[in-house]
Amino acid sequence: MKVSKLVGQRFKEKPADCVIDSHALMIRGGYMKYVGNGIYSEFPTLKRITAKIEAIIRKEMNMIDGQEVLFPVVMPAELWEESGRYESVGNELVRLRDRNDAKLVLGMTHEEAAVQLVREYGQSYNKYPFMIYQFQRKFRDEARPRAGMIRVREFTMKDAYSFHTSQEDLEKYYDVCYQAYHRIFQKAGIPEVISVASDSGMMGGSVSHEYMLLTPVGEDSIVICNECDYRANMEAAENIVKNESKGELEELQCIETPNCKTIDDVCCFLHSDVKKSCKAVVYQKNADDSFVVAFVRGDYEVNETKLRNLVGEDIHPAEITEDAPLVAGYIGPYNISDKVTFYCDTTLKGLDAIVAGANKEGYHYTGLNLERDLGNVEYVDIAKVKEGSVCPCCGKPAITIKRGIEVGNIFQLGTKYTKAMNMQYSDENGELKYPVMGCYGIGVGRMAASICEAHHDEYGPIWPISIAPWEVEICCLRVDDEETKTTADKLYKDLQNAGVEVIYDDRDIRPGAMFSEADLIAAPIRVVVSPRNLKESAVEIVTRDKRVKEMIPVNEAFDFVTNLKEKLFAEIESKVEPYK
Amino acid sequence: MKVSKLVGQRFKEKPADCVIDSHALMIRGGYMKYVGNGIYSEFPTLKRITAKIEAIIRKEMNMIDGQEVLFPVVMPAELWEESGRYESVGNELVRLRDRNDAKLVLGMTHEEAAVQLVREYGQSYNKYPFMIYQFQRKFRDEARPRAGMIRVREFTMKDAYSFHTSQEDLEKYYDVCYQAYHRIFQKAGIPEVISVASDSGMMGGSVSHEYMLLTPVGEDSIVICNECDYRANMEAAENIVKNESKGELEELQCIETPNCKTIDDVCCFLHSDVKKSCKAVVYQKNADDSFVVAFVRGDYEVNETKLRNLVGEDIHPAEITEDAPLVAGYIGPYNISDKVTFYCDTTLKGLDAIVAGANKEGYHYTGLNLERDLGNVEYVDIAKVKEGSVCPCCGKPAITIKRGIEVGNIFQLGTKYTKAMNMQYSDENGELKYPVMGCYGIGVGRMAASICEAHHDEYGPIWPISIAPWEVEICCLRVDDEETKTTADKLYKDLQNAGVEVIYDDRDIRPGAMFSEADLIAAPIRVVVSPRNLKESAVEIVTRDKRVKEMIPVNEAFDFVTNLKEKLFAEIESKVEPYK
């Protein structure tokens, strides 16, 4: 491919609306184009990358006995009514009608379609286990698409579904798939991806993991223990705090605290310790707008996901109107309206005397002791873990918090879908049972963007060679100089004939502009052919990551490039862990 | 792959709701599963076929300098409003709203997306010509999905768009693409596909061709000249009829013709020649329900597509109510209400005296001469061509009519989309001009189903080896016999290691059942390993198309199979025409 023929243009200037680097670089590099909110087209350069990512994933899925299938994007609503998700999933699920007013949905995930496909096939135990997967477009009507390809509404996803006759068999396969996922990221040149325990969200099921590429711009917070292997998404991370009661109870007093609507105001006004205060965060249930109050220790934040799982239905931050049974700024667990559901976080457990809102405009309680004053308190885990917290696994105060982009996820679904959709098999004794399912997803475009986010410099992406759009770029700095052009042309032909993926810039443009664009296209190996280099009968060979920068005799250039290519691939391969 | 592990089951019985063979066989063979009206999932067996078809198409598209891109399935309505198709396309275009009530459409074709992607890229003449293509899901809300994968609502399509600076350049590329399409069908084992001139329909543009696989169950009628190369879709075929006027005019008379509501009734009642009668076929415009009458000679049928193109807007068969300005059964061109638009077909030209409705209940005219009685008549071509008609190309009465399935189409679009969407480039002199476009489509699933329809017997599909799900099937007739199993196992391993795609049936089932299923999976080469054959130290090797059926010594089986595979591929390759 010649750069002069490559569809998609490259820009010098960073587009105004890009807040993260990968987004800006992929727009500047002619990788993709905005079509609509959270919707992009892929130019050839990105399509080449996503095709390579798909090939890596496909190979690994086949390796673990996956069979490729294809489900439709548009599905009849009945399928989703069977599983119950037509009602339970929110606005992310696009519901539409066809010309006959029949209800349809746009596939945002395909558990229902998977069960529908194999419901008859899987009627006997001897068919199990099996795994099917597909690459298909998904549409999720995200409220806030952002960060380019990282969070879009339409995307290509590899989604896989496994079926088993026992939880043990699922767990065995889940472990194999867990390894396959690591291998996929290793092969794609991002071995640094870590797996973390995660919240199963709308998928249901119990155990699940996410694969996270750590980067400061990631939208997920990851809880990592520096002392052991514990890793969890903040949404799912257990928070451990032990307040040691000294038995120093105080008298419960209602104190006037004028204009003290925040924890800081109150603690400052009363000269009290924020770690002995009670913070109220108020939500409403989506279904009936009734109020849910989360009480956490003043120095903690509420973990909405854990709260939502506890409540068992969707909630949103509350709007406290005048007729609400709550006094904004002065909400506390004692004497709270019985129209309100409230939860006390474990961070409040063991505190002898705390400061909390008095549910009365301008007043707080001091000396509140939850057990004494409220009676039997059931503490729940609804706070966010903080830096330096105690690890729930090893017990050491070694928790650190990083940010990451989720590049894949795997779930143990159990029988949620097979039961709801009445998929059964007869076991060895002829008894009817529900198969146990797992599901396994990777967003292809997001993976490309994440790799760019984790591997770039100010000039462009630094693609690992296994997924780079081209392996080699030849920059011919003077097409009007015959020797330069002939040398570059010949190398282009020779490398192409040897099966090397080469992009060739033979445009008559300034070297600076050519190099800038080459940085954006980001072939891992660059060969610079110029009259100056040729004076020394050499070409310059550099890698995009700057580890190699050498003058190589023209007649050795071909061998050098092909060897370098092999070396770069071998480096990646060396980080791929074998299956256990 | 072992048959025992292959997801998807095979049935003995033909499903009740399948009207064409390919549909029935592909359901029976575990290729696909019905999900909803015109919506299917693909089992692994079909996915393997469609993947091979895609690879064949991709290779050919790259060969003619196509660059693969990816457009979204879901697009903002604005894009389609720009081109005008948001309004002009009927119910096939699914229009929907997102969570913010923004208007979206489901892509049924991607001209708009293609122009949007390259609008900035193509601003200078020196970028031209270029072609981009994609494989993507499409959704068309067809009124009557039918015939399995032949006419569905959701399908995978390869769609390509080329951009040019002149009509001549488009025509040059169109010719290359025309050849590429033939090569694709030749490589897929259906060299018998013919190209025919077609109607451009909602795509706009002037010249277009369809690629037709002839089969009696095809839904298109194809007009073919036996004497020259003329081939056209009935929708687009010119009808040539010459009535020779003898100058024998008759007196115009209004005759009572009680209960003569059809042409046959009238001709019988009046003892007149149907070829001297005038048939009225009534339509209404979709927009305002106003009436459009097509008059054709009594022995011809109206070609709705040609009529629609003439009217310039959508029409539907009329419902003639009591208050209509038409008398059902007695409609004629003389004295017809001026509230009605009518057209006279060329089949009526030159008739001296015809019988036609008198626009009065129970009466017909005889002796009607259109020129004399109506004045200046403009004859138009709105009748369907008939068997034995005169060829518009060579002038011989050698027209024959066959049925076919459209497996691909190519269009010269002109500047319809670039103008509507304001895509411009500056030419050599800095003048702004609109690029000229072509577009080129192939439905992948339909192609698979069409191949099955054209190549099958009562037992199953007969896949060409280039797209068959597997190249070889090994049938082990007695897994409980050690020698049989060992021989089959070894051949399976050896062939796999040699890169042959093998499916292996080592189930403990009756030979009859195994062969029936093998006929449905339809690997082109079958190796039967059985104790009876092994007694003679041989295995039986047969091809699915029954051309080969030989006993081969066990130690020669591997070579025989690999040679046969190569021979079958070579046969296909021998029919692939080189580019001119």
pLDDT at B204 over 70: no
Tens digits of per-residue pLDDT, B380-409? 999 999 999 999 989 999 999 999 999 999
Q: What is the mean pLDDT of chain B?
A: 94
Which helix (H) or strand (E) covers residue A198, if one does?
none
Mean of pLDDT values over B310-319: 90
The span from the first CA to the last CA of chain A, in angstroms, equals: 41
Query: Can you tell me the distance from the alpha carbon of A222 to that of A401, in angstroms, rounded to the nearest whole number?
Result: 6
- List, edge to edge, every strand of the sheet that includes A253-256: A253-256, A363-368, A354-357
Percent of chain B as helix, strand, coil, to the nearest 5: 30, 30, 40
Which tokens go with B258? 């009680």
B292 close to B312: Cβ distance less than 8 angstroms: no
SS (H, E, C) B57-109: HHHHHHHCCEEECECCCEEEHHHHHHHCHHHHCCCCCCEEECCCCCEEEECCC
- What is the tens place of the pLDDT at every residue in A514-554? 999 999 999 999 999 999 999 999 999 999 999 999 999 99
Of the partner residues B51, B70, B141, the one whose CB lies closest to the CB of residue A42:
B70
Q: How would residue B437 be classed by pLDDT, with cut points 50, 70 and 90?
A: very high
Q: Is B120 on the interface with A (CB under 8 A)?
A: yes
Task: Tell me phi and psi for residue B316, to 5 degrees.
Answer: -140, 155
Contacts 24+ apart (CB under 8 A), B529-537: B529/B474, B529/B475, B529/B476, B529/B477, B529/B484, B529/B487, B529/B488, B529/B491, B530/B477, B530/B478, B530/B484, B531/B477, B531/B478, B531/B481, B531/B483, B531/B484, B534/B483, B534/B484, B534/B487
Chain B contact for A47, CB < 8 A?
yes
Q: Give the mean pLDDT of A120-146.
A: 96
Sheet containing A538-543: give its strands across: A502-505, A472-476, A525-529, A538-543, A549-553
Exposed, middle or buried by CB within 10 Å (0-12, 13-18, 19+), for B132? buried
| Chain A touched by B121 (CB under 8 Å) | yes
pLDDT at A228: 92
Higher per-residue pLDDT: A480 or B322: A480
Contact B35 A5 (CB under 8 A): no
Q: Are strands B208-214 and B194-197 parallel, antiparallel or unpaired?
A: antiparallel
Name the E strands within A370-423.
Answer: 379-380, 399-414
Least confident of A200-204, A233-237, B17-21: A200-204
Tell me what the mean pLDDT of segment A52-71 comes to.
Answer: 98
Comparison of pLDDT for A53 and A14, the residue scoring more:
A53
CB atoms within 10 A of CB A415: 16
Model pLDDT, residue B509 = 96
Residue B438 bridge partners (DSSP): B162, B412
A258, A540, B114, B436 from B161: Cα distances, Å: 70, 38, 7, 10
Cβ pairs A/B, distance under 8 A: 164
CA distances from B336 to A151, A524, A532, B280, B354 (A): 63, 77, 87, 11, 16
Query: Which CATH number is associated with domain A17-72+108-237+400-454?
Result: 3.30.930.10
Mean pLDDT of all residues belonging to chain A: 94
What local confidence, expressed as pLDDT, does residue A198 receive?
84
Superfamily in which the B470-573 domain is placed by CATH: Anticodon-binding domain (3.40.50.800)
Residue A183 has pLDDT above 80, yes or no: yes
Distance CA B290, CA B302 (A): 18
* pLDDT at A13 exceeding the cut of 80: yes
List chain B residues with CB under 8 Å of A91.
Answer: 99
Q: Does A156 touch chain B (CB under 8 A)?
A: yes
Name the token pair of A395. 């017990």
| Interface check A168 vs B, CB under 8 A | no
**Which residue out of B34, B35, B159 would a mutagenesis test of the A interface target, given it has the greatest number of A Cβ atoms within 10 Å?**
B35
- Chain A hits for B10, CB-CB cut-off 8 Å, are none
Contact of B132 with B117, CB cutoff 8 Å: yes
Distance CA B477, CA B98 (A): 57
Which residues face B158 on adjacent strands? B135, B442
pLDDT tens string A404-445? 999 999 999 999 999 999 999 999 999 999 999 999 999 999
> What are the residues whose beta carbons fall under 8 Å from the beta carbon of A292, sequence distance 6 or more?
A282, A283, A284, A285, A307, A311, A315, A318, A340, A341, A342, A343
Kind of pairing between the strands at A456-457 and A460-461: antiparallel
Q: Is A39 on the interface with B (CB under 8 A)?
A: yes
| Secondary-structure percent of chain A, ordered helix, strand, coil, rounded to 5 | 30, 30, 40
Give mean pLDDT, residues B8-33: 93
Q: Is A486 on the interface with B (CB under 8 A)?
A: no
Minimum CA–CA partner of B32 in chain A: A117
ipTM entry? 0.92
Residue B201 in this model has a pLDDT that exceeds 70: no
What's the CA gap between A556 and A537, in Å, rounded? 10
DSSP label of A64? T
What is the band of A204 on the pLDDT scale with cuts at 50, 70, 90? low
| Distance of alpha carbon A408 from alpha carbon A451, whole angstroms | 13
CA B248/CA A289 separation, integer angstroms: 88
pLDDT of residue A202 exceeding 60, the answer is: no
- Interval B364-374: pLDDT, tens: 999 999 999 99
Cβ count within 10 A of residue B396 = 13
**What residue has token string 């189903």?**
B449
User: Within the 77-116 window of chain B, which residues sit less than 8 Å (CB to CB) from chain A?
Assistant: 78-79, 91, 94, 96, 98-99, 102, 104, 106, 113, 116
d(CA A482, CA A529): 12
Class of domain B253-380 (CATH, top level): alpha beta
Residue B119 sits at the vertex; the CA angle it makes with B173 and B153, to the nearest 5 degrees, is 75
Q: Rounding to the nearest 10 degrees, give the CA dihedral for residues A495, A501, A504, A510.
A: -120
Average pLDDT over residues A176-190: 97
Span B164-174, average pLDDT? 97
CA–CA separation, A306 and B269 (whole Å): 86
Q: Which residues contact B300 (CB under 8 A, 6 or more apart)?
A: B239, B241, B279, B345, B347, B383, B384, B386
Q: What is the pLDDT of residues A102-115, one digit of tens each?
A: 999 999 999 999 99
Confidence grade of residue B270 (pLDDT, cut at 50, 70, 90): confident
B7 interface with A at CB cutoff 8 Å: yes
Contact present, B143 and A99 (Cβ < 8 Å): yes
Query: To the nearest whole angstrom, how far is the Cα of A223 from the nearest Cα of chain B?
Result: 33
- Quote the pLDDT of residue A15: 87
**Given CB atoms, is A132 within the 8 Å cutoff of chain B?**
yes
Collapsing DSSP states into helix, strand and coil, what is residue B234? helix
The pairing of beta strand A315-317 with beta strand B432-433? unpaired
**Closest to A1 measured CA to CA, from A414, A545, A502, A518:** A502
Confidence of residue A203 (pLDDT cuts 50, 70, 90): low
Q: Is the pLDDT of residue A323 over 60?
A: yes
CB burial readout B249-258, b (16+ within 10 A) else e: eeeeebbebe
Q: In this structure, is the dihedral angle defined by the CA atoms of residues A123, A127, A131 and A137, taken in order, positive or negative? A: negative
| Strands ordered across the beta sheet of A379-380 | A315-317, A278-285, A291-297, A341-345, A379-380
pLDDT number for residue A201:
65
Contact by Cβ (8 Å): A8, A42: no
- How far CA B415 is from CA of A8, A263, A281, B80, B199, in Å, comes to 21, 66, 60, 16, 17
Tokens of B89: 């396309």
* Nearest-angstrom CA–CA distance, A272 and A377: 24
List CB contacts (< 8 A) between B99 and chain A.
91, 141, 143
At A264, phi and psi to the nearest 5? -65, -45
| Three-class DSSP labels, A411-427 | EEEECHHHHHCCCCEEC
Residue B91: both structure tokens together: 């119910």
Nearest residue to B344 (alpha-carbon basis) of B310, B313, B380, B306: B380
User: Is B68 within 8 Å of A106 when comparing Cβ atoms?
Assistant: no
Q: Per residue in A260-293, pLDDT tens?
A: 888 888 888 888 889 999 999 999 998 899 999 9
pLDDT band at B155 (very low <50, low <70, confident <90, very high): very high
The 3 state secondary structure assigned to A121-176 is: HHHEHHHCCEEEEEEEEEECCCCCCECCCCECCEEEEEEEEEEECCHHHHHHHHHH
Domain boundaries, chain A: 17-72+108-237+400-454, 253-380, 470-573
Within 10 A of A240 (CB to CB), how many other CB atoms are there? 17
Spatial distance between the Cα atoms of A70 and A255, rounded to a whole number of angstroms: 66
- Same CATH topology for A17-72+108-237+400-454 and A470-573: the answer is no
Query: pLDDT by residue (tens digit) across A343-368?
Result: 999 999 999 999 999 999 999 999 99
Among the listed residues A23, A40, A32, A75, the one whose alpha carbon sits nearest the alpha carbon of residue A153 = A40
- Give the architecture (CATH level 2) of B8-238+400-454: 2-Layer Sandwich (3.30)
CA distance A32 to chain B (A): 9
What confidence category does residue B203 fall into, taking pLDDT thresholds of 50, 70 and 90?
low
pTM: 0.92
Give the integer Cα–Cα distance in Å for A33 and A36: 9
Beta-sheet strands, E only, within B415-471: 425-426, 432-433, 436-443, 456-457, 460-461
B287 at the A interface (CB within 8 A)? Answer: no
A289 exposure class (CB count in 10 Å sphere: 0-12, 13-18, 19+) = exposed
Measured between beta carbons, the chain B residues lying within 8 angstroms of A470 are: none
CA distance A420 to B12: 30
